[in-house]
Amino acid sequence: MNPHELRNKIVNRSARISVIGQGYIGLPLSLLLADSGFNVIGYDVDSKLIEELSNGITRLGSEKKVRDLLLKHLGSRYFPSNDWRRLKGSDVIIIAVPTPRVNGTMELGMLMEAIGLASSAINRGGLIVVESTLPPKTFDTLLIEIGKAGLRPGEDVFVSYCPERAMPGKLIDELIFNYRVIGAKDPASAELSKILYGCFVKGEIEITDPLTAEIAKLVENAYRDVNIAFANEVARICEALGSDVRKVRELVNRHPRVNMLLPGIGVGGSCLTKDPLFLSWVSSENGYSPELINIARELNESMPIHYANLVDDFLRWKNSGSGIVCVLGVTYKGDVEDTRESPAKYLIDELMRRGYRVKVHDPIVKESFGARFYDKLEEAVEDADAIVIASDHSGFKEMDLKRMRELAGRDPVLLLDGRLIIDKEKAEASGFVYVSVGNLSSLRRIKDEAFTLSETISKVPL
């Protein structure tokens, strides 16, 4: 098959497409390709996942459009499989396997396995596209691996890097409307990839070299992480000075050139917690050691511990260091089911390590990181001395605060709003001692000397 033939196959939708990895990215991508007219094999090593998909069940429950597309195309254009032999004879293979940070390093084993499989299964003259996030210069290593399989990249097989940037919670819309970057070393690989993505992408598609694409992908997430760290730093300043970060943020964001992000109890998710470090580590290996990115990451990682310290100080003052803490929300952000690197995990670990009884509720996912999970919000809140909101689920914004206060323990009960979603006046009128990220003034008021905020702040490892 020459590039012209593959081009025609893509244009008339007769190209056989396989997607390796059917998780947050691979599944919606496969379904959009099916929706644009291709027959798609969705391959994954997780046989339970494949069984679920084959029965029309997705783990991405909050992505309604993914579920609708699965039910629409399952068995007609979309074929989930855990049999690698089904990949043989593919004209196009897209790789969307994890490239996580494990024990302080970049884990590329799954990617290498997938590239080996793709090299052995792709038709001669076919296209391999990598969507998984790559540390800089990894694309070159992948080309070497493909070469080892006896294929000459740019001649026997075409290869590109198309980093994914869709946002969980609105994956289908962002897969369609985001602009895309394609990194490729030869014009045919770039052109074929552009035609492929043009089948469902409505945003602009930009072609560049692979290294630029690798760096750009990581810079986007590092940019966001650093900016959230800045917001978190301002929150900590406001806490120390006895001010309210919500008011400060509202004012500064009226400046035409300031856009401060939202501070919070922590930055989680599979991307912002590793991509900035990939950028930092690889540049350190190449002669420049970034400081800003590393410090931002450390500051963001310290946030759940900072608030565990706060709850601990409160409970020492109230109950001599014993008590019940209710944590509301375990997902890394609101209205998604993903708990990877969730700040709630670090908060819960730390509170349990200090001997507190932790009760957990989440309306979307039944996970509690070793603490006790309660299906009902009311049961989780019962007898609590402190309640911490760790995820900004829509449902939490409309909680009946009076009822919650009735159910919670004896006075005073701390309500720590880690996501700035509760109205301070309403919470106080309901009888809570309400504090939020970036505003600890209520605690100052009730405790004066007994509870020294400076002590809390100095405990935070930075």
Binding mask 157-196 for ligand UD9 (x = CB under 6 A): --------xxxx----------------------------
CA distance 303 to 262: 13
CA-wise closest residue to 224 among 303, 293, 299: 293
CA-wise closest residue to 97 among 112, 83, 82, 85: 112
CA distance 274 to 199: 31
Residues 310-339 binding ligand UD9 (CB under 6 A) are 332-333
Q: List active site positions.
A: 217, 271
Question: In Å, what is the CA distance from 365 to each residue of 59, 328, 339, 393, 437?
Answer: 10, 11, 8, 11, 24
Binding mask 255-294 for ligand UD9 (x = CB under 6 A): ------xx-x--xxx-xx----------------------
Smaller CB separation from ligand NAD, 169 or 412: 169
- Structure-token pair, residue 130: 């990598």
Binding mask 64-103 for ligand NAD (x = CB under 6 A): --------------------------------xxxx----
Nearest-approach distance from CB 125 to ligand NAD, in angstroms: 23
Start-to-end CA distance of the chain, whole Å, equals 57
The item of ligand NAD, ligand UD9, none sharing an interface with residue 207, based on CB under 5 to 8 Å by kind, is none
CA-wise closest residue to 460 among 298, 316, 246: 298
- Burial of 330 (C-beta count, 10 Å sphere; 0-12/13-18/19+): buried
Residue with tokens 């702040």: 457
Nearest-approach distance from CB 462 to ligand NAD, in angstroms: 27
CA-wise closest residue to 395 among 363, 419, 347: 363
Binding mask 254-283 for ligand NAD (x = CB under 6 A): ----------------xx------------
Nearest-approach distance from CB 54 to ligand NAD, in angstroms: 14
Cβ-based neighbour number of residue 397 at 10 Å: 13
DSSP state of 82: -
Residues 403-442 binding ligand NAD (CB under 6 A) are none
Smaller CB separation from ligand UD9, 228 or 388: 228
The item of ligand NAD, ligand UD9, none sharing an interface with residue 132, based on CB under 5 to 8 Å by kind, is ligand NAD
Nearest-approach distance from CB 142 to ligand UD9, in angstroms: 19
Smaller CB separation from ligand UD9, 124 or 247: 247
Instruction: Indicate the residue type of 378.
Output: E
Smaller CB separation from ligand UD9, 340 or 357: 340
Smaller CB separation from ligand NAD, 79 or 356: 79
Question: In Å, what is the CA distance from 223 to each residue of 45, 155, 230, 275, 294?
Answer: 33, 37, 11, 10, 12
CA distance 166 to 64: 15
Smaller CB separation from ligand UD9, 220 or 382: 220
The item of ligand NAD, ligand UD9, none sharing an interface with residue 119, based on CB under 5 to 8 Å by kind, is none
Nearest-approach distance from CB 370 to ligand NAD, in angstroms: 21
Per-residue b or e along 155-177, where b marks 16 or more CB atoms closer than 10 Å to that residue's CB? ebbbbbbbbbbbebeebbebbbe
CA-wise closest residue to 120 among 157, 72, 77, 154: 157
CA distance 110 to 140: 17
The item of ligand NAD, ligand UD9, none sharing an interface with residue 182, based on CB under 5 to 8 Å by kind, is none
Nearest-approach distance from CB 149 to ligand NAD, in angstroms: 15
Q: Are 374 and 361 in contact (CB under 8 A)?
A: yes
Of the ranges 105-113, 122-130, 218-226, 276-284, which one interacts with ligand UD9 (CB under 6 A)? 218-226
DSSP state of 180: E
Instruction: Indicate the residue type of 189.
Output: S
Nearest-approach distance from CB 347 to ligand UD9, in angstroms: 12
* Residue with the CB atom nearest ligand UD9 in the bound state: 271
Contacting positions for ligand NAD (CB under 6 A): 20-26, 43-46, 49, 96-99, 110, 113-114, 131-133, 164-166, 168, 270-271
Contacting positions for ligand UD9 (CB under 6 A): 165-168, 220-221, 224, 228, 261-262, 264, 267-269, 271-272, 332-333
